[in-house]
């Protein structure tokens, strides 16, 4: 299974792809999309880059950071636009999408929902057996989102089975 993680941003959009097989996780690619255009052209550039990543790496699933609050309305709007573009590309590609807040990702990766960027980078590197922490930190966050997804696969499967068996309240 290949999982794409996306840390959306209008100036820098982190991405990472990992491959999960037999309980092992392997880095496929990680990086950041940094659009050079302004306005709507920036969104188009982000969309094209996202489509290229999907075509090149063919993920089965995606984990996208969920913006849950932001004191700066302009930042929240910009991130929301980038997130919308990424979600559109994923939906058009028929990719299963899970969403995690930054706090959920940090808690799953480090055990501390308030972990700093450096902690996330170091623990992502450790879990993926990388010689160096992923750069930039947006890419490390994207890889952290991938790890959240693969860690939760068993839980999602058990819940789906229970729902099918009628053992959970609907």
Active site members: 7, 65, 138
Residue 37, classed as helix, strand or coil, is: coil
Q: SS3 sequence, 15-62?
A: EEEEEEECCEEEEEEEEEECCCCCHHHHHHHHHHHHHHHHHHHCCCEE
Question: Is the distance from CB of 60 to CB of 96 less than 8 angstroms?
Answer: yes
Maximum alpha-carbon separation in the chain: 52
Question: Is the distance from CB of 119 to CB of 107 less than 8 angstroms?
Answer: no
Using CA atoms, how far apart are residues 115 and 120, in angstroms rounded to an integer?
7
Question: Is the distance from CB of 134 to CB of 30 less than 8 angstroms?
Answer: yes
Question: Is the distance from CB of 15 to CB of 5 less than 8 angstroms?
Answer: yes
């Amino acid at each position: 299974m290949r999982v794409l993680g996306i840390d959306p941003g209008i100036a820098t959009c982190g991405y990472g792809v990992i491959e999960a097989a037999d309980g092992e996780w392997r880095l496929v690619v990680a990086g950041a999309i940094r659009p050079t255009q302004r306005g709507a052209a920036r969104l188009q550039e982000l969309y094209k880059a996202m489509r290229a990543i999907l075509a090149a790496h063919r993920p089965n699933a995606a984990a996208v950071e969920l913006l849950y609050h932001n004191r700066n309305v302009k930042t929240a709007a910009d991130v929301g636009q980038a997130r919308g573009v990424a979600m559109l590309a994923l939906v058009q590609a028929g990719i299963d999408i899970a969403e995690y807040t930054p706090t959920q990702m940090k808690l799953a990766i480090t055990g501390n929902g308030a972990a700093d960027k450096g902690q996330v980078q170091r623990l992502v590197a450790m879990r993926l057996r990388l010689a160096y922490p992923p750069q930039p930190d947006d890419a490390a966050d994207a890889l952290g989102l991938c790890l959240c997804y693969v860690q939760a696969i068993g839980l999602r499967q058990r819940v789906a089975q229970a729902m099918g068996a009628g053992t959970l309240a609907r």
